């Protein structure tokens, strides 16, 4: 879990983070919902105290999905301790009188990139995170698209190959099934890649690709192709100007972006679609925190609920 104090202009004034174990807590007891909440409260309290407890305009939070929205009972896939945890209500109790707004973490990254990052000044932007999963958020006509239930932006479940690999969602051939870090690692291992560590992720695979390992390079090409197809579909459907891509897998740089661009150009042939720019995300690991702050500071564009 990470927290930041963000200024109205988007500058991160203070930042801190703490690991969220999915097993037992450090003292040996099982990590339950309340234990995790206390860990978050402590992180928030320490961050504010170290900065001299400045006045707050509000509280924005990004959390892994799924969640109900805008009520934000959260059940983040990778944090089993929270299932239907009332995150927004708890933050409201903790910060009475302040606006409290919670959205999907990938949506917060997309908001951050639109507000102060690679999509700044553009009206129609897709922000993507290619990491353990593949998530995203969609800004159209200068405003965040929430959709019917706050779930718009799920670029990871755009179908890139109807006969492709099964996806965790129960479907088949989703972008996420092909391009998420663990999927790429599994594919590379099948092709004979032998990582140095057992806890390997897409970040190590991307690093090995940069060192020239042919299987790792091929894995990045595979991911890039799938992302290019999905972005072509999204561009045709939404008439985008910019797609900003972050997350660990994107650290492969040109080894990912070159095949991505090639696949995109092969499929996005209409004049309006060819104008979209596909760029690396600009804000790095604080993008989601800056986007969460924008839920408060720029709610007219990014927060349609109450």
Point out which residues bind a copy of itself (CB under 8 A).
Answer: 66, 123-124, 138, 140-141, 143, 145-162, 167, 169-174, 225, 229, 232-234, 236-241, 263, 266-273, 275, 304
Q: What is the nearest approach in angstroms of a copy of itself to the Cβ of residue 127?
A: 13
- Distant-in-sequence, close-in-space partners of 83: CB < 8 Å, separation ≥ 6: 33, 75
Q: Which residue number, 10 or 62, has a Cβ lying nearer to a copy of itself?
A: 62
Do residues 44 and 100 touch, judged by C-beta distance below 8 A? no
Residues listed for the chain: 306
Q: Which residue number, 150 or 248, has a Cβ lying nearer to a copy of itself?
A: 150
Q: What is the nearest approach in angstroms of a copy of itself to the Cβ of residue 50?
A: 39
Q: Determine whether 58 is exposed, middle or buried from the number of CB atoms within 10 Å of its CB (0-12, 13-18, 19+).
A: middle
Q: Which residue number, 98 or 140, has a Cβ lying nearer to a copy of itself?
A: 140
Q: What is the nearest approach in angstroms of a copy of itself to the Cβ of residue 171?
A: 5
Q: Which residue number, 79 or 175, has a Cβ lying nearer to a copy of itself?
A: 175
Q: What is the nearest approach in angstroms of a copy of itself to the Cβ of residue 181?
A: 20
Q: Which residue number, 10 or 228, has a Cβ lying nearer to a copy of itself?
A: 228
- Distant-in-sequence, close-in-space partners of 239: CB < 8 Å, separation ≥ 6: 124, 272, 273
Q: Which residue number, 166 or 214, has a Cβ lying nearer to a copy of itself?
A: 166
Q: CA 113 to CA 116: how far, in whole Å?
A: 6
Q: Which residue has the tokens 């709610």?
A: 299
> Whose CA is closest to 207, among 260, 246, 251, 256?
251
Task: Name the 3-class secondary structure at 15.
Answer: strand
Q: What is the nearest approach in angstroms of a copy of itself to the Cβ of residue 18?
A: 30
Q: What is the nearest approach in angstroms of a copy of itself to the Cβ of residue 289?
A: 24
Residue spans of beta strands (DSSP E) within 50-92: 59-63, 73-74, 85-86
Compute the half-sphere exposure of residue 129: CA atoms within 13 Å on the CB side of its CA. 26
């Amino acid at each position: 879990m990470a927290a930041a104090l963000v200024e109205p202009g988007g500058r991160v004034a203070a930042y801190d983070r703490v690991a969220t174990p999915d097993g037992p807590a450090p003292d040996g007891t099982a990590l339950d919902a309340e234990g995790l909440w206390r860990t978050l409260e402590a992180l928030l309290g320490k961050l504010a105290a170290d900065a001299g407890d400045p006045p707050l305009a509000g509280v924005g939070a990004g959390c892994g999905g799924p969640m109900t929205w805008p009520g934000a009972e959260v059940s983040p896939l990778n944090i089993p301790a929270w299932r239907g945890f009332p995150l927004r209500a708890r933050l409201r109790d903790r910060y009475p009188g302040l606006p409290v707004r919670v959205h999907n973490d990938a949506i917060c990254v997309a908001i951050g990139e639109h507000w102060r990052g690679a999509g700044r000044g553009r009206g129609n932007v897709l922000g993507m995170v290619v990491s353990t999963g593949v998530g995203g958020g969609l800004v159209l006509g200068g405003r965040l698209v929430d959709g019917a239930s706050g779930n718009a932006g799920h670029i990871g479940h755009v179908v890139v190959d109807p006969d492709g690999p099964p996806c965790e969602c129960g479907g088949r051939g989703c972008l996420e099934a092909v391009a998420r870090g663990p999927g790429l690692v599994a594919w590379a291992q099948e092709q004979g890649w032998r990582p140095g560590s057992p806890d390997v992720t897409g970040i190590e695979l991307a690093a090995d690709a940069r060192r020239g390992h042919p299987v790792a390079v091929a894995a990045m090409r595979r991911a890039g192709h799938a992302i290019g197809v999905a972005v072509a579909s999204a561009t045709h459907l939404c008439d985008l100007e910019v797609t900003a891509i972050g997350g660990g897998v994107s650290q492969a740089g040109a080894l990912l972006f070159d095949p991505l661009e090639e696949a995109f150009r092969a499929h996005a042939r209409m004049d309006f679609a060819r104008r979209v720019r596909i760029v690396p995300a600009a804000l790095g690991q604080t993008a989601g925190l800056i986007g969460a702050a924008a839920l408060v500071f720029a709610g007219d564009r990014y927060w349609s609920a109450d």
